[in-house]
Amino acid sequence: MLNKSSEENKTTNVLSSSLEENIDEVKNIFVDDATIGMRWITNCHNTTLKYCIVQNDGLVSAAIINENIIKPLMLSKVSLNKGQQIDILIHQVISTNQIKKTNQWQEIIEAVTYGDTILFVDGEAEALLLNSKGFNTRAIAEPSGERILSGPREGFCEALMINLSMVKRRIRNNELKIKFQSFGVRTHTQICICYIDSVVNKKVLAELYRRLETIDIDGVLDSNYITEFIRDSKLSPFPTTGYTERPDVVVGKLLEGRIALFVDGSPVVLTLPYLFIENFQSNEDYYLSYYYTSFERFLRFWGFILSITVPAFYIVIVAFNQEVLPTTLLTNIVRERTGVPLPAVIEAIVMLILFDILKETGIRLPTGIGQALSIVGALVVGQSAVSAKLVAAPMLIVVAITAITGLLVPKLNAPVIYIRMMLIAMSATLGLLGFIAGISIIMTHILNLHSFGIPQMVSLDNLKYQEVKDTFVRGPWWKMIDRPSALTKNKTRLSGDDRGDND
Amino acid sequence: MLTGVIAIKRLFSILLIISLCLLLSGCWNYQGLNKISIVSGVAIDRNVDNHNYQLTIEVFDLSGSGKEGGTKSQIVEAEGATIYDAVRNAKKRLTKKLYFSDMQLVVISNQIAREEGIQPILDWFMRNEKPRETFATVISQEKTAKEILTASGVDHKIVAEEIEKILDADNRTTASTKNIDTYKAMNILQGKEGNALVLPAVHCTSNQDKKVVEVNGCAIFKGDRLLGYLSPEETRYYLFAVDEIEGGILTFPFNEKNQDTQDNLTFEIFKNKTKRSYSYDGNRLKVFFDIKTTVALGEVGIDIDVSKKDNIEKIKTVAVTVFSDRLQTVIKKVQTEFGCDVFEIGTMISKKDPALWSQLKENWNIYFQGIDVEVRPEFEIINTALTK
Amino acid sequence: MIKQGEVVTNERGIVMQKEMISMRQAICMITLFLFGNSALMGMGSGMGQDAWIAIVIGAVLGSLISLVYARVIRLFPERNLYDIAQAIFGKIIGKLIIVLMTWYAIHLAALVLRNYSEFIQIVALEETPQLAMMIVMLLITGYMAFSGIEVLSKWVVIAIVLVFMVVLFTVVLSIKQVTLTNILPVMTHDFAAVGSASLKLFAFPFAETVIFLALADSIKKSDNPYKIYLYGIFIGAMILIVTFLRNLMILGVPTLEKAYFPSYTAARIINIGELFSRIEITIFYNLILGGIAKISICLFAAIKGTEILFNIKSNKKIVFFISFIILLVSRYQYNSVMEMIKFIDIYQVYAVPFQIVIPVLVWIGAEIKTRKKRKTT
């Protein structure tokens, strides 16, 4: 009979008023989970008041439970009547900082698995969710992927609330809006949507909510899972959402009207919408002298272009249009290439793949061996290959330039590989025409990119002085970016037009 | 959207088609560097026996590694009924394809230039898109053009490159020959301005018992046939007349006692500007060359104090006289011996007064022979180097 | 086709208006359109050193006809030629006009494509079959036409900046090679000859800007079409004249007349200090950019015409289909380069109905219709 009512309760997903039934239900739900512990408590002054707390070993802080939950429950002198205990318990007895009452089993499951303690009260059809989180997280440290020379070095860790705290501390304003949602059928991962109300683009926000509703997956472990569901141009290798591990970067982007997406369990925060120029921007640009950083941006931009085009262009010069080279250079290169068996294309592809292998190995190996191996690999293999006349020396230089410039812009390391190969293939078949064709296709593709409805590249004819000053080649046309902001060397120009219409 | 098996299959088949197209058809124009033989110069002769063109092609020899002291050159000979034919015939004895984009020199034997004219020869070089139109064409004063390319250069091991570099620097250093890009030469040949073609001339001399090439004045053409040569000294005065001189040396005899002596003063030319003008009074054409030259007195072979202003003036007067005489001699020589307008006078008239030119251009060559040219040189001596 | 004021949700899920281009973008499109083919083929047409006068006169004539085009745009703002033709002349004649203009766009694209593949074959890729080159170029232009006019215009703006820079670069570098007197004597040819050369230049390229009427629905109502056309033609003519003068002064009249592709030949001669020699590769790049732009614009016009004609929505299949037609026309219209050059004489006459007759008819019809409308309202 008990089971039957539990069954009924389960189908209706609400609690029953009987403590035993509830606890049986808990045991049923968490069958085979040995870490869910239960503790029965009775009030010492009124022994008819029975409670039971359910806690998740390892996620809870014993101190909080002992001091703030068990002790007050045991020692409370407050008179309580059955059927009306919940509110009094909340307001007068239990001294945890967050309490929520619920009668939904789903909420209880989600709360327990995150570190909350559940308090079941005999005679009440509601349970209390008490905040007792006490799990360990990684210490706040500088993210290894985004090192800078000077500036704040805080980096996100895997706990959502701590990450949010870092951001909230930097925006001491009530306009920062924070909303939670959860995704993942099995993991119920919390994500947090963050934006500054008076500057955000409302259309983008609406579009974001619309897209989030389409997510259907069983588990969300990292922000990249979310990205791949909600991004535009799903087939393009170029990123259309930004990612970062630094709170100062997130705040900077929020101030320009972007939306930040935090995912619990991942230190990587998404920012959207994302403009193409952001691939080349780094937060360091605003912390160092603008002369230096303008030059750096220039280098990054050209590094990207070189990384894509150098091998293809080399093949064009060497195999199709040799007249580009001055005679002395031509004779030198010919001399280097005599005796080399493979045509330049094959060499290029093999060397590039080899270099990528070396780079990948260098990342995965434990430090110490990694560096030595990369250097040894690159130098020795390269050198011996040249001496054995398997590879021509100019090709080594070309590959070295390509690979090193490819490291300048980490956000574009995915598209660069494919674009490079595509350009090599096109140049190898059709020479200069193939090269130009490839570049045109890439340009068209990049111009086609959108991020949440906003084109990633603005038209060159729309540049105003301020926007050119702000970002390297293109300034976003999107009105929000028009707002003066420390996107560049110049100090903030925030004016009082903050209350403008941002709909 | 790409969901579903059919769509995947479609994508796959498209990719397969594209890659097949690329791979199977091959890269038609892919020309690996080890398959080309870089040409630096070509010498053209006519084989008397079978009336074929005989080409002597100088290519870069890049087989050795660069450490053994500079690039060497190799000679390839070829024969054919036309130039293009000969070039392709060369492949009968070469593994690599001849690559003309870096060709810098074409040497034509004076026999072909005299008897047949050079325009048919140059046509292939201009028409084919590989040779660059800026290469130099020279006339060989030796018996054949081949001797020029088979001789050696003093500096370079590659003769064609060496000649081209000498020609390039010539009007700034020696001013003894004419430096002209072949496309400009073709412009003159095909132009309607009565201009006569002047090409550099090259011969062989001996340097330390080795045969080396040397630039030697210029060759004068009527139409595209060779008429004769101007010696290096005469060429220098010619260059003054056409305002192409930018450096060089002028020597004069100077003698306070007015005796005939050897040249003993040397002017070093810094700048020169020749203003050419003419006057036509309905009957006779008179041409004026106003030559203003800035020089330094580089060498004084006699005992004279050149820091004194009077001496400088005396030197100038002598220089002016001698210069005018010598230039007039050259002009007269061209007018009488060659009878073709190498001084671009016709061009000048056609640009300034097209109506007059249409009158005169009918018998321009004959008319040219009777033109009166007045030479008005002026020297400005700016320094005398280190000593007085 | 997205009609005026219609709001659609595209596959990106964003509710968007019809794509519009700004005035500057439109001017850049016209300029690059004019530059594309003409800089390649040279504008000499036998006039020697006086061809620049013919270019000027041709540009003036082009501006005159463009006033007609601009007026049509003014009378029916934010609608393209096909729409307007149907609105004025009704279904049948309107559809006929659409067919004719679409055919013109296709043919123009094919002509330009053939020009370019001949050029590339002679200059760079001798052994590659022209079909391969044409397919590649059509791939690019197809992708661009498919991406929509906004992307096309952004691409054009980037391309024209590069083109400007290269032209400037070559002009500056050619100082050493330039013979200024090459331009003299002026006007050795009589007016009749110059006049006929100007007419040739009018037909190709200046009056080809009639194609833009098919894209006119992306020009905002508030922009002045007169300005767009006149600025575009002016700047385009300027660039062409500068290019021509540079070629003339470097090459000299006989070489200029004899060369099929004078810009390319001129660029090969430029040589400053051994460092800046062999820059013809940048000219090559320039010309290809111009060609891609021109073919893309024509392709776009043709696709729009087809869509309106058969009432289908824009998708990959149409692009593919039209590109294929262009490929066929391009491949089979001439047998050799000589025929291609000769065709320009015929083209002068053949293009008249498309460049002059139809637009003038549409203009007259538009004037009548708007007057009627004004009377009734």
B100 in the same domain as B191: yes
Whole-number pLDDT of residue A8? 43
Say if residue B208 is exposed, middle or buried (CB neighbours under 10 Å; 0-12, 13-18, 19+). Answer: exposed
Q: Which of A63-72, A137-146, B149-158, B181-190 has the lowest mean pLDDT?
A: B149-158
**Model confidence band, residue B306 (pLDDT cutoffs 50, 70, 90):** confident
Query: Would you say domain C23-80+95-334 falls under CATH 1.20.1740.10?
Result: yes
Q: Are residues B46 and B157 in the same domain?
A: yes
Same domain, A379 and A441: yes
Task: Assess whether A263 and A308 both reside in one domain.
Answer: no
Helix (H, G, I), strand (E, B) or coil at A443: helix
Q: Are strands B105-109 and B36-46 parallel, antiparallel or unpaired?
A: parallel
Instruction: Give the CATH number of the domain where residue B308 resides.
Output: 3.30.300.210
Residue A139 domain-assigned (yes or no): no
B20 belongs to a structural domain: no
**Looking at the partner chain, which of C122, C128, C271 has a beta carbon nearest the beta carbon of B129?**
C122
Q: Indicate if A246 and A215 belong to the same structural domain.
A: yes
Asked, for residue A76, whether it belongs to a domain, the answer is: yes
pLDDT at B66 (0 to 100): 55
DSSP A320: I
Which residues in chain C touch residue A233, judged by CB atoms under 8 angstroms apart? 12
Smallest CA–CA distance from C180 into chain B, residue: B351
Note whether residue B177 is domain-resident: yes
Contact C92, C72 (CB under 8 A): no
Q: Across all residues in chain C, what is the average pLDDT?
A: 82
What's the pLDDT score for residue A291? Answer: 73
Continuous segment of H or E residues that includes residue B204: strand B198-207
The phi-psi region of residue A5 (left if phi > 0; otherwise alpha if psi is between -120 and 50; otherwise beta) is: alpha
Taking the Cβ of residue B63 and every Cβ of chain A, the question of whether any pair is shorter than 8 Å is answered with yes
Residues B50 and B164 in one domain: yes
- Helix runs in C148-252, H state only: 149-173, 191-203, 225-251
d(CA C76, CA C79): 6
**Considering the domain boundaries, does residue A346 fall inside one?**
yes
> pLDDT tens-digit profile of B332-368?
888 888 888 888 888 888 888 888 888 887 888 888 8
CA A474 to chain centre: 25
Into how many domains does chain B fold?
2
Tokens of B94: 């070469």
Per-residue confidence band for C295, with pLDDT thresholds at 50, 70 and 90: very high
What CA–CA distance (Å, rounded) separates B171 from B173? Answer: 6
Q: Do B29 and C265 touch (CB under 8 A)?
A: no
From the list A211, A321, A324, the residue facing C13 with the nearest CB is A211
More confident residue, A232 or C159: C159
**CA closest to C188 among chain B residues:** B354
Residue whose C-alpha is closest to residue C70's, from C187, C202, C223: C223
Grouping H, G, I as helix, E, B as strand and the rest as coil, residue B293 is: strand
Strands of the A176-183 sheet, one edge to the other: A176-183, A189-196, A259-263, A269-272, A242-244
Is the CB of residue A212 less than 8 Å away from at least one CB of chain C?
A: no
Asked if residue B287 and residue B199 are part of one domain, the reply reads: no
- Chain A (419-478) residues lying within 8 Å, Cβ to Cβ, of chain C: 426, 429-434, 436-437, 440-441, 443-445, 447-448, 450, 452-453, 455, 457, 459-462
Interacting residues of C282 by C-beta distance below 8 A, sequence separation 6+: C166, C169, C170, C267
Q: Are residues A237 and A189 in the same domain?
A: yes
More confident residue, B295 or A277: B295
Show the domain range for A97.
Answer: 2-130
Per-residue confidence (pLDDT) for residue A193, from 0 to 100: 93
Q: Are A150 and A283 in contact (CB under 8 A)?
A: no
Interface test with C, best of B183, B192, B358 (most C CBs within 10 A): B183
Statement to judge: residues B213 and B300 lie in one domain: no
The distance of A432 to chain B (nearest Cα, Å) reads 11
Whether ipTM tops 0.95, in short, is no
Place of tokens 């791939």: C139
pTM of the model: 0.85
Comparing CB atoms, the residue among A331, A343, A344 nearest residue B38 is: A331
- The total number of structural domains that make up chain A: 3
In a domain, A481, yes or no: no
Task: Give the residue from C7, C125, C153 with the most A CB atoms within 10 Å of its CB, the best one to mutate.
Answer: C125
Q: Please report whether residue A143 resides in a domain.
A: no
Is B256 in the same domain as B165? no
What is the spatial distance between Cα C237 and Cα A435, in angstroms, rounded to a whole number? 29
Alpha-carbon dihedral angle through residues A199, A204, A208, A210, given to the nearest 10 degrees: 130
Listed by number, the residues of chain B in 92-111 with a beta carbon closer than 8 Å to a beta carbon of chain A are: 99, 101-102, 104
Residues B72 and B172 in one domain: yes
The reply to whether A233 and A185 lie within a common domain is yes
Report CA dihedral (C47, C49, C53, C56) to the nearest 10 degrees: 100
**Contact present, B297 and B269 (Cβ < 8 Å):** no
- Of the residues A205, A212, A313, A459, the best mutation for testing chain C's interface (the one with the most C CB atoms within 10 Å of its CB) is A459
Residues of chain A with pLDDT under 50: 1-12, 473-503
Judging contacts by C-beta atoms under 8 Å, the chain B residues touching residue A425 are 22
Containing domain of residue B269, as a range?
243-388
Tell me, yes or no, whether B72 and B42 share the same domain.
yes
* Chain A residue numbers touching C153 (CB-CB < 8 A): 459
Residue C17 predicted with pLDDT over 60? no
Q: C153, A453: Cβ pair inside 8 Å?
A: no
Would you call A484 an interface residue with chain C, using a CB distance cutoff of 8 Å?
no
**Is A337 in contact with B22 (Cβ distance < 8 A)?**
no
Three-state DSSP class for A176? Answer: strand
Average confidence (pLDDT) over C52-71: 88
Best residue of A236, A240, A448 to probe chain C, by most C CBs closer than 10 Å:
A448
DSSP A14: B
Identify all chain C residues contacting A456, using CB atoms and an 8 Å cutoff. Answer: none
- How confident is the model at residue B3, as a pLDDT? 60
* B contacts of C185 (beta carbons < 8 Å): 350-352, 354
Highest mean pLDDT out of A5-9, B153-157, B215-219, C45-49:
B215-219
Q: Which residue of C has its CA nearest to B192?
A: C254
Q: DSSP assignment, residue A91?
A: I
State whether residue B253 is helix, strand or coil: coil
Res C314 pLDDT > 80: no
- The reply to whether A316 and A442 lie within a common domain is yes
pLDDT tier for residue C18 given thresholds of 50, 70 and 90: low
Minimal Cα–Cα distance from C183 to chain A, Å? 30
Tokens of A422: 């595509």
Q: What whole-number distance in Å separates Cα of residue A347 and Cα of residue A438?
A: 20
Q: Do A337 and B99 touch (CB under 8 A)?
A: no
Residues B57 and B119 in one domain: yes
Asked if A319 lies within 8 A of B62 by C-beta distance, the reply is no
Q: Residue B183 and residue C181: Cβ atoms within 8 Å?
A: no
Same domain, A72 and A37: yes
What per-residue confidence (pLDDT) applies to C297? Answer: 92
B63 shares its domain with B162: yes
Q: Which residue's structure tokens are 């919940």?
A: A86
What is the enclosing helix (H) or strand (E) of B38? strand B36-46
Angstrom distance (rounded) from CA B58 to CA B106: 10
- Same domain flag for B195 and B53: yes
CB < 8 Å to A333, chain B: 33
pLDDT one-digit tens code per residue, C326-363: 888 888 887 888 888 888 888 888 888 888 888 888 88
Asked which of B230, B260, B284 is the last residue of a domain, the reply is B230
Residues A336 and A448 in one domain: yes
Phi, psi of A222 (to 5 degrees): -150, 160
Q: What is the pLDDT of residue A11?
A: 41
DSSP track, B144-198: -SHHHHHSB-SS-S-HHHHHHHHHHHHHHHT--S---BHHHHHHHHH-SS----E
User: Both A248 and A177 in a single domain?
Assistant: yes
B249, B218: one domain? no
Q: Are A366 and A350 in contact (CB under 8 A)?
A: no
Testing the interface with C: which of A201, A436, A441 to mutate, by most C Cβ within 10 A? A436
Count contacts between A and B (CB, < 8 Å): 67
Closest partner residue to C147 among A320, A326, A448, by Cβ? A448
pLDDT of residue C235: 92
* CB-based contact B28 C125, cutoff 8 Å: yes
User: Burial code of C42-64, b = ≥16 C-beta within 10 A, e = fewer?
Assistant: bbbbebbbbbbbbbbbbbebbbe
State the Cα–Cα distance between residues A115 and A159, nearest whole angstrom: 12
Q: Which residue, among C23, C140, C299, would best test binding to A if mutated, counting the most A CBs under 10 Å from its CB? A: C140
Determine, for residues C185 and B354 on separate chains, whether the beta-carbon distance falls below 8 Å.
Answer: yes
d(CA C9, CA A225): 25
In a domain, B297, yes or no: yes
The answer to whether residue B18 sits within a structural domain is no
**Which chains are within 8 Å of B by 3+ CB pairs?**
A, C
Name the H helices within A135-192. Answer: 160-170
Give, in order, the Cα–Cα distances in Å from B378 to each of B175, B276, B294, B345: 18, 14, 9, 21
3-class DSSP assignment, residue A7: helix
- A117-121 sheet: strands from edge to edge: A36-42, A50-56, A117-121, A127-130, A99-102
Contact state of A448 with C277 under an 8 Å Cβ cutoff: no
Q: Is residue A443 part of a domain?
A: yes
Residue A424: both structure tokens together:
């090599």
Contact between chains at A323 and C278 (C-beta distance less than 8 A): yes
Whole-number average pLDDT of chain B: 83
DSSP sequence for A56-82: ETTTB-HHHIIIIIIHHHHH------T
How far is it, in rounded angstroms, from Cα B70 to Cα A473?
A: 46
Measured between CB atoms, which of C13, C277, C288 is closest to A326?
C277
* Strand intervals (E) in chain C: 8-9, 15-16
